[in-house]
Structure 1
Amino acid sequence: MMTNNASLLQRRSDAIPRGIGTALPVFAARARNAELWDVEDRRFIDFAAGIAVLNVGHCHPRVIEAARNQLEAFTHTAFQVAAYESYVALAERLNALAPIKGAAKTILFSTGAEAVENAIKIARKATGRSAVIAFSGGFHGRSFMAMALTGKTAPYKRGFGPLPGEVFHVPFPVSHQGVEVEHSLKALQQIFKADVAADEVAAIIIEPVQGEGGFHAAPPALLQALRTLCDEHGIVLIADEVQTGFARTGKLFGIEHSGVEPDLITVAKSLAGGFPLSGVIGRAAILDAIDPGGLGGTYAGSPLACVAALAVLDVIEDEGLCARAQLLGDSVSRQLQAFAARQDLRPLGHVRALGSMIAFDLLATRGGDEVDPVATQAVIKRAHALGLILLSCGAQGEAIRILFPLTIGDAVLAEGMALLEQALAPD
């Protein structure tokens, strides 16, 4: 059977439902660090990193070695049947690294949505309450509670209802969209007055930087105010670090930029360098509120993923990836600001970055605030044609996000930015 992109696209169409989209019309054959080759041996520079999964790059040798060694020992027991040391060692490591004072514990799962679902379960059991507050523009996954928490209807929620109740949304502060921290806090107080009393709220969940919502960072003033409110009313503060975690923002966890300590942290994506692994890290007293058997999963905390995650944490530390994320983010932000000042490129603006979690918007008019999602998609399509993998995000798909592996070589990064510059040239 002939194997090329066209034939595989036809097979995909015939075999797989259209509800799952794919950004590029190509099929991967191999990848290393920040480069990917398709089945026709065409090379791409990867500024998506599997949607922030590959902070240590494709096939980091230390991750591959750890997984290979585990493969030769055993691949699965189910932790609930026969435990294994790598799960315990990883939990110990995460407990020590998390920005939580006092005793901490960690439970492992497989996906980000699974971690979010379980964080809400834990918060509800620990508090004896049921209501949850999330933010507009937030993304927490595609399972039912995660969908309810997600603050965007299409394509994530539309047509899938009814969704779980007692979930309330607060506007997320984005200055150029006219929403400031004071507006968010006022809306939160209005929810307490009109919809659910503060002492009936189990948890407030927030991304330190909104991912699908447009790479907007939560202002420290908002996070600090939420911490105060949660302390005052006995609410569990959950930091959803699925996309921001593991050096992406210049710190191991994105919330560390604010100095705020959450009660629970959900993690996934770059934790295991491409192997499916997620977790909930949190205050021991909260996690221990669940009776034995109330948490778990057949594949939760896979031994392959656990050893990969331990290797990832070693790489982040040994290769100084937090500092590198900040260095690269600063450099790319300066280049994007220079692009924004040029008259020979499409209008762009709202350049924003926390470490190497970087985004910008395509604009309808130069220097304005109105966005142009059609132009965004045109730039992404042209970048793909040039050999650069980019993704969009934002409420209207207006933003281009940049998520190269933090291990990317300087020459490859420069090549990728040159391709982005070409893609931004008007038609």
Structure 2
Amino acid sequence: MRLADFIRVNMEEILRIWEFDAKHILPIPRLSREALRDHMEEILLGIAVELERQPVGHNRSTEFGPQHPDGEQSARVHGSERHDLGAGIVHVAAEFRALRLTVIELWLQENSRLDNEGARDLIRFDDEVDLALAQSIENYALRKEKQGRLFETMLSSLPDPCFILDLDGSFLYANRAMADLCQVRAEDIVGRPFSEMPLPAKYNGEVKLKEVIRYKECRESEVELESAIGDVRYFECLYAPVIDEEGEVEAVSGIAHDVTQRKKSEARIWRHANYDLLTRLPNRRLFLDRLNQHSAHSDRTGDPFALLFIDLDHFKGINDRLGHEAGDNLLKEIAQRVSVCVRQSDTVARIGGDEFTVLLLDTGDRELIKGIAENILGELARPFHLGDDEACISCSIGITMFPADSGSAQQLLGDADRAMYLAKHSGRNRACYFTEIPKAPTAE
């Protein structure tokens, strides 16, 4: 019996023994054991078809035809298809080795004394297995190479910096965006330590790398980078462990996403919500937030602070006479003049149309506070030049102290407002303390 016929006749026995020999080969997720067995049967039938072809000697072609007249595909084609089903090269080699040993052992048991024809069949069978495996490996290598090119093209074209580090923190891979960020040529970055790159410690420090390796978990961070020309960029960074088959970390991959535009948009939204668009001073919302913070701090520490409530005198008349544009310009100049009268740590806010407030921090010195209020009165008393027009204005200021005068932030603001009205009723262009408000007579 020829070896090709032997394979066909003993197919079930060959597959049974092969399956036993190959039982330690890991299963492929996309292929059940039954489907894998059917696949190996196709490979054997393909080899049988090749054994029936007339040999061409040393010049025989190494390229199989895609199909035999009976419809059976060649072993080499089936071997290559294994990679499409998720098999690795080691997996495929192990399968072919088990198949070779099974057929040879059964063939030798059947033919204890091989004649020349049987020996030639055996040699051709061994050769066919080698050729099928060789083409399978070549196909695997070509596909891996293509896959590498595809991924390299994809990663290189990404605007997001991507990289892979070894366990010592040196680059195994970096795309063009990462190399540009590190101010290094892409071809020169592999092998260089991440910690030596001109990046903030929060980005390339060893802490994140060690955490990912130790806990085998992803880590995130947000960093701020300033370019050589002074541009500020913000990145959200993700570091992920690369886990090997034994469950150990073999490398760390990273990707950084530029969120500069989002951060700028968020900053604009926050600024619009918390700052007066005309004067660029804190608005009522931000002022109340800071007032509550300083009140809570003063409750804990006992540190005093003062609140000045400023209301412009006769602003409506100037606005009506010169127009709203001139009125807006006047408010902007008033904001600037008030701001130069206070310390950098103090807060000047616009909380209404012609109402301003000042928080004077960490002081209970009435003389200091009075001096600042008088400076504000003096600055606003100077004429304002609004294009071709000139305007003169004054203000009334109410002053209250925390915690001496009030027990809460809301009460403090109300007391300062009452003190401001005292200044208005007393002739305007002056400052009055809350403690100067006459006490209401008590009924006897």
* TM-score between the two structures when normalised by the length of structure 2: 0.17
Larger radius of gyration: 2
Does 1 or 2 have the higher relative contact order (CA < 8 Å, sep 6+)? 1
Structure whose residues are more often helix by fraction: 2
